[in-house]
């Protein structure tokens, strides 16, 4: 059994996964804290944040430093994931398949009372996969547009200068979208949903209760523990 705990827990997340998640929380929070006051500079709260962080000059450089760190993390994450799959050390458990879209429809049917049982999920369910790919693609959009805003003169020497205001609009609205998705979707799933309430700690401790695994990731449970 892969990474099994002795009694009622099994190991769900590696140290590397937990470190990445902690780094994303810290960097994303810092990027929001230093980015949003630039988007809405005349709001009272923005002025307060800018003043308490040491002024707009500090805020802009903190944002750029966090942006560079976030971009490096993203590239390293993708490289390690691809390397792991190619060398067969890890399985591509986040890859989307037709089954995930079918699961989404089946789960909706279950919620509407049109199906007797919910679909049974593997290591990651369709919601987790959609969110993961949203983060990866959204992350690349933020990194690309962020670097265009970081080096506007260099960019406009090789590409049309109209790209700069376009990048600003994309960066600004993608930031808002990402923030709302984290707030409404992710935080609901890991804090308030009936399965997780008051908090799902597995990504911090690395462990999950066997009973929860059986309930939420039945197919993975059967693979790890066997049918009971
Ligand atoms: C992924 C999380 C990120 C969030 C939530 C975020 C958020 C924001 C927001 C809200 C703005 C203000 C846009 C406006 O004025 O309408 C901004 C500006 C900016 N961002 Fe980001 N950003 C992120 C990532 C990045 C990355 C990866 C970089 C790359 C270095 C970056 C570099 C910049 C730059 C250069 C500006 C223009 C302001 C300045 O010149 O300092 N950002 N960001």
Q: Is residue 72 part of a domain?
A: yes
Q: Is the CB of 39 under 6 A from ligand 1?
A: yes
Q: Is residue 132 part of a domain?
A: no
Q: Is residue 160 part of a domain?
A: no
Q: Is residue 74 part of a domain?
A: yes
Q: In this structure, which residue's CA is closest to atom 3 in ligand 1?
A: 31
* Parent domain of 24: 9-127+192-225
149-157 LR contacts (CB < 8 Å, sep 24+): 150/64, 150/67
- The angle, 0 to 180 degrees and rounded to 10, between the axes of the packed helices 44-52 and 56-86 is 80
Q: Is the CB of 63 under 6 A from ligand 1?
A: yes
| Cα–Cα distance measured from residue 172 to residue 166, given in angstroms and rounded to the nearest whole number | 10
Atom of ligand 1 nearest to the CA of 143: 27
Look up the CATH number of the domain holding residue 28: 1.20.950.20
Number of compact structural domains in the chain = 1
Q: What separation, in Å, do the N-terminal and C-terminal C-alpha atoms of the chain show? A: 15
Q: Is residue 157 part of a domain?
A: no
Q: Is the CB of 206 under 6 A from ligand 1?
A: no
Enter the tokens of residue 154. 């260099």
Q: Is the CB of 140 under 6 A from ligand 1?
A: no
Q: Is residue 183 part of a domain?
A: no
Q: Is the CB of 148 under 6 A from ligand 1?
A: no
How does pLDDT run along the chain (228 residues), one tens digit per residue? 444 445 799 999 999 999 999 999 999 999 999 999 999 999 999 999 999 999 999 999 999 999 999 999 999 999 999 999 999 999 999 999 999 999 999 999 999 999 999 999 999 999 999 999 999 999 999 999 999 999 999 999 999 999 999 999 999 999 999 999 999 999 999 999 988 999 999 999 999 999 999 999 999 999 887 766
Q: Is residue 171 part of a domain?
A: no
| Cα–Cα distance measured from residue 177 to residue 141, given in angstroms and rounded to the nearest whole number | 12
Q: Is residue 89 part of a domain?
A: yes
């Amino acid at each position: 059994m892969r990474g099994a705990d002795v009694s009622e827990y099994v190991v769900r997340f590696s140290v590397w996964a937990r470190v990445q998640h902690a780094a994303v929380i810290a960097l994303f929070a810092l990027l929001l804290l230093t980015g949003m006051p630039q988007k809405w500079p005349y709001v009272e709260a923005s002025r307060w944040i800018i003043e308490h962080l040491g002024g707009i000059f500090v805020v802009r450089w903190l944002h750029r430093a966090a942006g560079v760190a976030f971009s490096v993390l993203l590239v390293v994450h993708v490289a390690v994931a691809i390397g792991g799959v190619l060398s067969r050390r890890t399985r591509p458990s986040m890859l989307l398949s037709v089954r995930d879209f079918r699961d989404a429809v089946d789960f909706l049917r279950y919620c509407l009372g049109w199906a007797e049982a919910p679909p049974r999920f593997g290591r990651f369910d369709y919601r987790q996969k959609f969110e993961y790919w949203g983060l990866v693609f959204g992350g690349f959009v933020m990194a690309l547009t962020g670097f265009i805003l970081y080096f506007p003169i260099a960019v406009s020497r090789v590409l049309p200068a109209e790209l700069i205001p376009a990048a600003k609009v994309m960066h600004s609205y993608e930031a808002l979208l990402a923030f709302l998705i984290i707030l409404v979707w992710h935080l609901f799933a890991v804090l308030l949903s009936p399965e997780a309430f008051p908090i799902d700690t597995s990504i911090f401790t690395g462990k999950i209760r066997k009973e929860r695994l059986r309930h939420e990731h039945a197919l993975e449970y059967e693979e790890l523990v066997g049918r009971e």
